[in-house]
Structure 1
Amino acid sequence: MAIDIDRALALTLPGFTVDVERGRLRLFARVIGETDPIFTDVDAARAAGHRDLPVPPTFLFSLTLESAAPFASFDALDIDLRRVLHGEQRFDYTAMAYAGDTIAISERIVDVTVKRGGALELLTKQTEFRCGTELLATATNVAVVRNPEVAA
């Protein structure tokens, strides 16, 4: 079934907050192979001019999975996850986030592009990450959705 573009662009996803914990940052750094001590040792982070452990690049994406319904946009648009492929992810950073911060996350669909005569639809979601009123980063994610009703 084709994505209802008007419905997608009007979709309001519930925002939520996540507390950034030191232990989680240390685990993330270890998992990605980060060896710089500023990401695991508070004293090293402070000596480098940070107020606490800084959030490593791409960590913010993992916070989106803390939503009560991390795939709510697909559910709301009746998109079968078996027909979804991750197409693209981009982060635009404007400020640092640190352990101890409470991050407010808001997501919205900003574009739907139809390709290959309707066989593929590109669903673009934008996610904002804020600490208080300060914008920390904007993530743009493109999901490729195969429409089973149209032959490629």
Structure 2
Amino acid sequence: MLDHSHIGRALTPYSVLVEAGRLRFFALATAQSDPVYFDPATAEAAGYPALLAPPTFLFCLEFESPQRGELYRLLDIDIARILHGEQSFAYRRQVFAGDRLDYAGRIANIYVKRSRSGGELGFIEIETTVSNAERQVVAELRRVTVVKPA
């Protein structure tokens, strides 16, 4: 089903700028209420250099890769067969509007499980390290994509 030889393979790294407008939109969409996510003056009064990135915002930036769909092309997976399995975050530093972030992902694991109906489901674990312009790790992201049988 899935080619296990790709375990450990690095995905194409990329950089993305954290834009204030996108932070506000994401904060609104995720029902944040703290003004440090919306108002630069409040964020600065709280000791932040700019608007603070809301929790899980880094995951949405993971889809900013100029090589979108690289994983699915590499593994020859029809996008209609994929499901979001899970995601987790290990935060090391805060992220603010104006930060430039570098994303470096890799295929951490590929495995198969039998479903209750007897079919096989494929699982792809991606681990991504996110660093700031000073090369400090700001977060480690992990996501699992589920691949349904053809």
Runs of 4+, deviation exceeding 6 Å: none
Aligned to 1:144: 146
Counterparts of residues 2-151 of structure 1 (less than 5 Å)? 2-6=1-5, 8-116=6-114, 119-132=120-133, 133-148=135-150
Q: Does structure 2 conserve the Cα–Cα contact (< 8 Å) formed by 1:64 and 1:70?
A: no
SS of 1:129 mapped into structure 2: strand
C-alpha distance in 1 between matches for 2:89 and 2:25: 21
C-alpha distance in 1 between matches for 2:92 and 2:8: 27
Q: Does structure 1 conserve the Cα–Cα contact (< 8 Å) formed by 2:8 and 2:108?
A: no
Q: Which runs of 5+ in 2 are unaligned?
A: none
Q: Which runs of 5+ in 1 are unaligned?
A: none
TM-score, normalized by length of structure 1? 0.90
Q: Does structure 2 conserve the Cα–Cα contact (< 8 Å) formed by 1:130 and 1:136?
A: yes
C-alpha distance in 2 between matches for 1:45 and 1:138: 24
Letter in 1 for 2:143: N
Structure 1 position 12, deviation (Å) = 2.7
SS of 2:107 mapped into structure 1: strand
Letter in 2 for 1:136: V
Structure 1 position 96, deviation (Å) = 0.4
- TM-align CA RMSD: 1.4
Structure 1 position 118, deviation (Å) = 7.2
C-alpha distance in 1 between matches for 2:28 and 2:56: 14
Structure 1 residues 109 and 118, CA, compared in 2 at 3 Å: closer, same or farther? farther
